[in-house]
Structure 1
Amino acid sequence: MDVDTPIPDPHPDHAAATGDAVLEISGLNVDYGTGEQAVRAVSEVNLTLRRGEVLGLAGESGSGKSTLAYGLTRLLPPPGVVADGKVLYRPGDGSEPIDVLALSPAGLRDFRWAQTSIVFQAAMNALNPVDKISTQLTDVLKAHKPELSRTERAERARELLGLVGIPADRLDSYPHQLSGGMRQRVMIGMALALEPRIVIMDEPTTALDVVMQRQILGVFSRLRKRLDFSVIFITHDLSLLVEFADRIAIMYGGRIVEEAPAAQIYRDPLHPYSDGLLHSFPALRGPRRELAGIPGSPPDPRSLPSGCSFHPRCPKAFDPCSREIPVLGVPDDPQQQGGRTGTGRTVACWLHPAASSQPPTAAQFDSTLT
């Protein structure tokens, strides 16, 4: 997609249909290790996922995207631990919200797959190589719906393959006998086996060619509209999210640095890191242009820079950036009125300080323009 070409709002019919919150993440902190040796990989993340919404989570490798997903579902392998925060799931049936981080092992087992499922980024590693596809699909049903008979489970497995466009005769195949795209479709079918309200997609198209990426996303988009579930889509490819997501949250150094509707992020990114990501992929139309990219490398979470962790790589950094961490909030800048601050837009950048933070002085801001 060409970042210089205007686009309409992404699937406006779907965006208008989003409703009440189904998942609320507040103050989430995730560490690797404990005590003085702990390394904070996710810091003070606040996100809300609404019914029927696709929330994109973008950033370079190491920004904390997958750690956030595994933390909120309590799938972090040791030594990862959720140090603080809340993850509230709202069932939507009038019952009280469920605190995911406080669930017992039995409650957590019931919650996973039935209410929230994950499509992992490496299907060949996520699928058991020594079991047939039929066994892996029916095992999910056996574990969560023991009342189903063997015949009913087999019929449901055939239905799931049909949903994702795979012939039923592939049920007797092993994972290595399927193409990469078919394996990823099997994972999507498995994730939808119990009709969850939330599906987390952790870079599901990373190992696929661009043609297969679009096919997978096309299948998933149709299923989302048909089954009305919400999605958290994690990827480093912002161009995919611009097409697929309703809202996009940008992560850097374990923090959310910008969040806005997808069309706003595409047309007018406020954070220099968001702008850098947008200009890191080639235009498909128009004149040739040199890719801008982002200089340097993501920071080591064991030794984050002071102030804004992006400032060593930022072309617009000025005095406050190296001293103080900007607050994530609605920009309190008169120059941003008239639509740029739109509904739900937040940013953590001293170029657009939030109303709850101390903005830089005029002299400090002017220094960025010279």
Structure 2
Amino acid sequence: MTPVLEIRDLSVDYGQGEGAVHAVSSVNLVLNRGEVLGLAGESGSGKSTLAYAMTRLLPPPGLITGGEVLHHGRDKPEPVDVLGLTPKQLRSFRWNDIAIVFQGAMNSLNPVSTVAAQLEDIYRAHRPEMSRAQRTKRSAELLRLVGISADRLGSYPHQLSGGMRQRVMIAMALALDPEIIIMDEPTTALDVVMQRQILEQMMRLREELGFSVLFITHDISLLVEFSDRIAIMYAGRIVEQAASEDMYRASSHPYSKGLLGSFPALHGPRRPLTGIPGSPPDMRTVPSGCPFHPRCPSAFDVCEREIPVLEKLSGANGDSSRSVACWLNTPSLSGHPGVGAT
């Protein structure tokens, strides 16, 4: 597959000096063209920080301390490092190449502007050559694309339901036909019926328009159904990556297994919900070694001392699409008495 976005060794701190909080530590991710990549983890694992850093929307005191974010544009012969763009280039990159659907639509939309005004603002800023009639026509087309009647152009955000507001946010993200859409927990505040409708519509649009999606959520059950690949994040690090079906059927990291055991299966036999004991670590005082070891049922002595490296695992068929950062999956420790303990 062809990559459209590569994140290489990206690190983010909040604050500086000895008191800095390492919110994201040397993350590597690849989003391929036309794919849906899911990013899961508990609150505070660094998912949203990663999204804001890669789009340079990170608010103070957030600071990118290292790494690259390479965009492979459809009309560009060489990849461009987003972290090196000038303010003018960055303004063009956002909306044209990448767009974000934020979690709280009511907080993201301007409460005193109509839907039409907010959609047309995008074209005024990025397509100044468009006439007013063209802007209005295109805005109506965008609403119809996400399943909203064009007569809602004159509505204010408070006059729309939660689901309709989220659809307006999706329409805004699609306004300039970007290559990448970042969905940062876009359906958290919605009921399960509306959640499914919006995600199904988003996947239909992805098939129709061909953009790539980075889908961020704490609900791994959604990713199993709607994403092609899943990356699991814990304490600012990627701990496992795999195809969605492989992750669901045979996850390798104990944290991934805990997340998958935290929601009920809708089909098949009943199974107990295991969950994960304890709470995510305070990022100001992350445990030594593997950050997950205090909560891990399979931890042994090396887990307390050394941080495991994210390494590729080859399956029986030679497939190496899965990567795991866990001492349980390290070949050199396969004979250790702690490996496989529960």
What TM-score comes out, normalization by structure 1 length? 0.90
* C-alpha distance 244-36 of structure 1, shift in aligned 2 (>3 A): same
SS in 2 for 1:101: helix
Give the counterpart letter for 1:353 in structure 2. Answer: T
Aligned to 2:316, which of 338, 341, 349? 338
The partner residue of 1:294 within 271, 276, 282 is: 276
Aligned residue for 1:60, secondary structure, equals: coil
Q: 2:333 aligns with which of 341, 355, 360?
A: 360
Shift of 1:364: 3.7
Residue deviations 1:180-209 (CA, integer Å, cap 9, x gap): 000000000000000000000000010011
CA distance in structure 2 between the partners assigned to 1:283 and 1:38 by the alignment: 40
| Alignment partner, residue 204 of structure 2 | 222
Secondary structure of the residue aligned to 1:31 is strand
Aligned to 2:180: 198
Superposition map of 1:245-264 within 5 A: 245-264=227-246
Offset of 1:319 from its aligned partner?
Answer: 1.0
Answer yes or no: is the 8 Å Cα contact 2:140–2:153 preserved in 1.
Answer: yes
Contact 1:22 1:49 in 2 (8 A): yes
Q: Is the 8 A contact 1:52 1:229 kept in 2?
A: yes
1:144-223 maps to which residues of 2 (within 5 A)?
Answer: 144-223=126-205
Distance 2:268 2:207 in 1: 33
Amino acid at match of 1:160: L
In structure 2, C-alpha distance between the alignment counterparts of 1:287 and 1:224, rounded to whole Å: 33
Structure 1 residues 263-342: aligned runs within 5 Å: 263-331=245-313, 337-339=315-317, 342=319
1:348 matched residue in structure 2: 325
Q: Which runs of 5+ in 1 are unaligned?
A: 1-18
What CA distance in whole angstroms lies between the structure 1 residues aligned with 2:121 and 2:336?
Answer: 64
User: 1:178 and 1:343 mapped to 2: Cα distance?
Assistant: 46
Are the aligned partners of 1:129 and 1:175 in contact in 2 as well (CA < 8 Å)?
A: yes
8 Å Cα contact 2:293-2:299 kept in structure 1: yes
User: Structure 1: how far apart are the matches of 2:67 and 2:125?
Assistant: 30
Deviation at 1:362, TM superposition (A): 2.1
- Superposition deviation, residue 283 in structure 1: 2.3
Residue type of the alignment partner of 1:121: Q
Q: Deviations 1:97-141 (Å, cap 9, x if unpaired)? A: 111001111110010011000000110000011100000000011
Confirm or deny that 1:129 pairs with 2:127: no
Match for residue 104 of structure 1? 86
Give SS of 1:215's match. Answer: helix
Contact 1:320 1:360 in 2 (8 A): no
* Shift in CA distance, 190/361, structure 1 to aligned 2, threshold 3 Å: closer
Q: Is 1:24 equivalent to 2:1 in the alignment?
A: no
Give how far 1:287 is off: 4.4
Distance 1:264 1:284 in 2: 18
The code of the aligned residue for 1:130 comes to V
CA distance in 1, matches of 2:222, 2:336: 39
SS in structure 2 opposite 1:301? coil
The alignment covers a number of residue pairs equal to: 342
Question: Could you tell me how far 1:94 is from its partner in structure 2?
Answer: 4.4
Q: Could you state the TM-score of these two structures normalised by the residue count of structure 2?
A: 0.97
Contact 2:312 2:320 in 1 (8 A): no
Structural RMSD (CA): 1.4
Q: Secondary structure at the match of 1:191?
A: helix
Q: Which of 115, 137, 157 is the equivalent residue of 2:97?
A: 115
Q: Distance in 2 between matches of 1:210 and 1:269?
A: 25
Contact 1:308/1:326 (<8 A) preserved: yes
SS of residue paired to 1:27: strand
Unaligned runs of 5+ in 2: none
Q: CA deviation at 1:325?
A: 0.3
> How many Å separate the matches in 2 of 1:112 and 1:35?
31
